[in-house]
Amino acid sequence: MPQDTFTLRLIARELDSALKGGRINRVNQPEKEELSFIIYTGKRTVKLTVNANASDCGVYFTEDEQENPLVAPNFCMLLRKHLTGAEILGVETDGFERIVVIRMMCLSDFSSTQRELRCEIMGKYSNIILTERGAILGALKTTMLDENCKRAILAGVKYVLPAPQDKVNPLDFAALSALLCNPPEDGARFLFRHVAGLAPCTAEQIVSSFRGGNFAQHVYDYIFSDEISPCVLEKDGVPTDFFARSVRGAIPFATLSEAQSYFYAARRAREKFEGTKRKLLAAIRTAKKKQEKRLAQIVDKQRECEGMEENRIKGELLTANLYALSRGMKSCELVNYYDETGATVNIALDETMTPAQNAQSYFRRYRKQKRALEFLAPQAKETGDELEYLLSVLALAESAKSAEDLKGIEEELLAAGLIKAQAKRPSKRAEIPFRTYEKNGKRILAGRNNLQNDRLVRQSAPDDIWLHAQKYHSCHVVIETHGEEIDEETLLYAARICASYSDARGGGKVPVDYCKVRYVKKPPKSRAGFVIYTDYKTALVDPSDLPK
């Protein structure tokens, strides 16, 4: 993002025009390093976001709704105290620094004073500082007074600008002319390294727009011109950057504020989607790993009981040969009459026990192992079913492509107790809709999670067509037939949808089973998304053929 002084100067000019005379109605802090101001401009109410995060720093208008914490952070409370009801006098940059200054007149019952909100847009050094008469009232990020502190940011301390860089200030035209008297070959790189307040992309635009003549004059005119043609550059439908001047292949916008708002809203939505997906996948994989470990332990215990019948046979052989044995023997060699060949078996004995006691010892081991196997069998089945369920949820989560998909997965994980609900303000939860498609006049529905898969089967008509990837975890898909025959093109389209939301996607041809909903049954007490079906046929499809 070119959040350099060149761009910030134009942003400040737009903000000044839009906000001058407006009043701050509310201050919120939805994120650790982000503030939002609800401002009534006299014509409408706008939301101004000031972000001091290293990757998203900026000052821009937004329209998206964000959840605010139940308890406001200290800096937010300070701003509410000093800025609620304040009138905005103007917005400007501080010289040629990357600092947007919002000047306000703050009124109270007993006094009025001018305060400034200084938004330092400097990447990882970004900060938001409230000052009054040159002194700091508070800051989002504070520093302590110590011998290594080059710039103190603390309540009561005098506000000073960040230390200047070893670069030429373009406001000083004489210095700029001396620097650029002989334009270098790599002009963009040279400008970025030696002229203050320019991002690499801005330097490239300056150089590419040069058509000969006085290079220093061109640089000065470009930086301080009020010409503006905002745009957003996209790659594969995802916004990658915004610019104050036109860029080839970019989407144009009427104002820089609109371009920023579009860019940051798309970026925020993408980051939120990816973060939520990572969190849900991590929770599923943790639960899956836990069940795999439990199943491995059960299997190990079952293996330990594999010698159960051997212990029973040894006990019976000892009982049948008590007359030939005596206390004190360490082992004995007896004919195994269970063996068709009549082979002998060597049996270890406890020399402190009588032969009858040794026989009973083997019988006790046999009974203990038998009870263990009877106890482990339902545990193994339960764990296997749970593991199979988690694999189905994992497949659905990995194939999620939208925020609504993730909401459905999160809803299911909350219901299954795999994640904990975060404390939020109470609100009505709208039912998440199915994925909806249409082909040849027929509506096709696909579940976003296992809970939706069950609901989809329940609410579908008996003659609707149900689809599921064969021997793979996938979403459930239903074609609404309304009692009519379905053509092959529609059926294959629905099958490709089903395959694209399965854990077989990306692996070539995928077999997809389909049948009427009347032949799909859900066993009692089975996990969400589990069904059995009969009277089905199979279609072989490639999910990559599905139109985007």
Phi-psi region of 179 (alpha: psi -120 to 50; beta: other; left: phi over 0): alpha
How sure is the predictor about 152, in pLDDT bands with cuts at 50, 70 and 90?
Answer: confident
Higher-confidence position of 55 and 279: 279
Asked if the model's pLDDT at residue 492 lies above 80, the reply is yes
Q: What is the mean pLDDT of residues 444-451?
A: 91
Residue 419: CB atoms within 10 Å:
18
| CA-wise closest residue to 170 among 218, 220, 217, 100 | 220
What pLDDT does 503 receive?
Answer: 83
Q: What would the mean pLDDT of 541-545 be, rounded to a whole number?
A: 84
Q: In 172-293, where do the E strands start and end?
A: 231-235, 238-243, 251-252
Chain centroid to Cα 544, Å, comes to: 24
Residue 548 clears pLDDT 80, i.e. is over it: no
**pLDDT tens by residue, 93-133:** 998 899 999 999 998 777 789 999 999 999 888 999 999 99
pLDDT above 60 for 425: no
* Domain 5-139, second-level architecture: Roll (2.30)
Determine the Cα angle at 238 with ends 541 and 498, to 5°: 20
The two tokens of residue 324 are 């030939």
pLDDT tens for each residue of 57-85 = 889 998 877 888 888 999 999 999 999 99
Q: Which residues contact 40 (CB under 8 A, 6 or more apart)?
A: 22, 23, 25
| Res 52: pLDDT | 92
Pairwise CA distance, residues 478 & 453, whole Å: 10
pLDDT of residue 257: 85
Instruction: Classify burial at 169, counting beta carbons within 10 Å of its beta carbon; exposed 0-12, middle 13-18, buried 19 or more.
Output: middle
Q: How far apart are the first and last CA of the chain?
A: 29
> Is the Cβ–Cβ distance between 393 and 475 less than 8 Å?
no
Q: Which of the pair, 415 or 320, is modelled with greater confidence?
A: 320
| Per-residue pLDDT reduced to its tens digit, 182-191 | 877 788 899 9
| Span 330-355, average pLDDT | 90
Token code pair at residue 198: 């320019």
CA angle 338, 344, 350 (to 5 degrees): 100
Burial class of residue 480 (count of CB atoms within 10 Å of its CB; 0-12, 13-18, 19+):
middle
Report percent pLDDT > 70 for the chain.
Answer: 96
Distance CA 321, CA 332 (A): 10
Spell out the domain ranges in the chain.
Answer: 5-139, 173-258, 285-420, 433-545
Rounded distance between C-alpha atoms, residue 307 and residue 314, angstroms: 11
Percentage, residues of the chain above pLDDT 90? 58
Provide the token pair at 77: 């409370």
pLDDT digits (tens, 9 = 90+) for 246-281: 888 899 999 888 898 888 888 888 888 899 999 999
Of 118-122, 182-186, 378-382, 463-467, least confident by mean pLDDT is: 182-186
Mean pLDDT of 449-465: 92
For residue 142, pLDDT beyond 60: yes
- Check: CB of residue 170 under 8 Å from CB of residue 96: yes
Alpha carbons 405 and 435: distance in angstroms, whole number: 8
Task: For residues 386 and 376, give the distance between their C-alpha atoms in angstroms, rounded to a whole number.
Answer: 15
Question: 3-state secondary structure string, 325-349?
Answer: CCCCCCEEEEECCCCCCCCEEEEEC
202-231 pLDDT per residue, tens: 999 999 888 888 899 999 999 999 889 999
- Residues contacting residue 204 through CB under 8 Å, at least 6 positions apart: 188
- Taking only the tens place, the pLDDT of each residue in 359-374 is 999 999 999 999 999 9
On average, the pLDDT of the chain sits at: 89
> Which of 176-185, 290-299, 346-355, 475-484 shows the lowest mean pLDDT across its residues?
176-185
